[in-house]
Amino acid sequence: MRAFQQSKPTYTTCTAQLCQSRRDWDSVHVAVPLFLSEIAPTRIRGGLNILFQLNVTIGILFANLVNYGTSKIHPWGWRLSLSLAGIPAALLTLGALFVTDTPNSLIERGRLDEGKAVLKRIRGTDNVEPEFNEIVEASRVAQEVKHPFRNLLQRRNRPQLVIAVLLQIFQQFTGINAIMFYAPVLFNTLGFKSDASLYSAVITGAVNVLSTLVSVYSVDRVGRRMLLLEAGVQMFLSQVAIAIVLGIKVTDHSDNLGHGWAIMVVVMVCTFVSSFAWSWGPLGWLIPSETFPLETRSAGQSVTVCVNLLFTFVIAQAFLSMLCHLKYAIFVFFSAWVLVMSLFVLFFLPETKNVPIEEMTERVWKQHWFWKRYMDDDNHHIVNGKLTGASV
């Protein structure tokens, strides 16, 4: 694919800039999902948490629109585009001044009366004693943990850690960042002109926003597992379709698909983006934020973000070379990973819909056919029929 080879220096630089911007807003992913999961009522926790991801996708769409508009302004349009990024940053900083601490955080720091008052305010009722007592007990257990990151490796915390890490790896191996980072180059290779390629990136951004709305509406109704499994089928089929079309129509001697086939590939790309946007995109952040116990919640979310950034970097750096060597087979590579991650969800990911976060151990992990073996009471487990001490 000659267009990709010719564009490599420019888009390698572009990727570095995009990774920098990801680091900026991915740092927010350490705190925001935890904050939303702790304050949200159980029945709408998923939808409220995904509203954060919705705003991220809206920001991406507006960024694409701004880039498209300022690209027409010469020679200082890029300076205007870059400076406009300061507006949402200022709004984010201003809004943070008005955000209260979560009841969990206040209680964990010994401010019980403030914690109960905040809990009453966000629940809209004075009858919060059962939930308040659960948080107090979880806080007591959390305060006994002196090394949260070391505690993550304990046997009873392995299920949450394994799932959080694998969700981040799988999220990147869907191929979404590869497609979003290189969408302008991809569409240009498929036969679009330079302006149309940027316009196509705006289209994928709009699809991203609308599909995230689907997730906000459905995540607390149909559950996390159902969205992930349905999206797995959709992503797999769309990537296989793209691989078949490119394999048949694109050769070493011709990069141009023709108008009709190019439109079909764009539709398949949008189909893929839509399925990701209502599943692996937001749920990759939601599920880890609601499954870790209080004593390891912050440490677990930090590991989650770290793994996400690491594999974002790996995919961003490797994708262009992989595309030039594998060509259409790159989509076969990603579709194979989609199949693997869908099987993982089917057999190993428990449903967390409508479960209070302080009751995950009893109602989720101890009930799961596989992970319950790690949830023996008092950190003991059975080995060859004998009761042994905690395993790390």
> Residue ranges of the chain with pLDDT lower than 50?
1-25, 378-392
Contact 110, 334 (CB under 8 A): no
Contact 338, 239 (CB under 8 A): yes
Give the three-state DSSP class for 388. Answer: strand
- CATH among 3.30.1330.10, 3.40.47.10, 1.20.1250.20, 2.60.40.10 for 2-373: 1.20.1250.20
Distance CA(232)–CA(344), nearest Å, equals 11
pLDDT at 101: 87
What pLDDT is attached to residue 26? 54
Distances (CA, A) of 348 to 37, 174, 204, 369, 371: 22, 18, 31, 9, 8
pLDDT of residue 21: 45
- At residue 88, the pLDDT reads 84
Domain ranges of the chain: 2-373
pTM of the model: 0.81
Residues 213, 314: Cα–Cα separation, whole Å = 29
At 22 the pLDDT is: 45
pLDDT at res. 10: 39
Specify whether the CB–CB gap between 291 and 303 falls below 8 A. Answer: no
CA 313, CA 305: separation in Å to the nearest integer?
Answer: 12
Residues 6+ positions from 326 with CB-CB distance below 8 Å: 332, 333
State which amino acid sits at residue 373: R
